[in-house]
Amino acid sequence: MILAVAAIAILVTIALALARAFMGPTLYDRILAVNMVGTKTVLLIAVLAVLSGRTEIIDIALIYALINFIGVVAVLKLVEHGNFYASGEED
């Protein structure tokens, strides 16, 4: 019961973050919001896994947490340098 309520609360948070991602005046606001959506998605997957009793789904949450972090850092690097080169390699 509490798990269903928690899942709905996470969905509300994701909706709020998505609104910020669409509105966001600057690019960084959007990345921040997307990062937040990613973290909340990890939690949502974990909650749904426990809710449905199929705990092997937690593996997906684990992978998603890893991918989300790498994705955010990659996007930031792209914004910062305009390409994916390591910071020392350009000019």
Interface with another protein (CB under 8 A), residue from 22, 41, 55, 85: 55
**How far is the C-alpha of 39 from the C-alpha of 75, rounded, in Å?**
16
Nearer to another protein (CB atom), residue 55 or residue 85: 55
Q: Could you tell me which residues come within 8 angstroms of residue 64 by beta carbon, excluding any fewer than 6 positions away?
A: 38, 41, 42, 45
Considering only residues 59 through 78, tell me which ones interact with another protein, judged by CB under 8 A. Answer: 59, 61-62, 65-66, 69, 72-73, 76
Nearer to another protein (CB atom), residue 27 or residue 85: 27
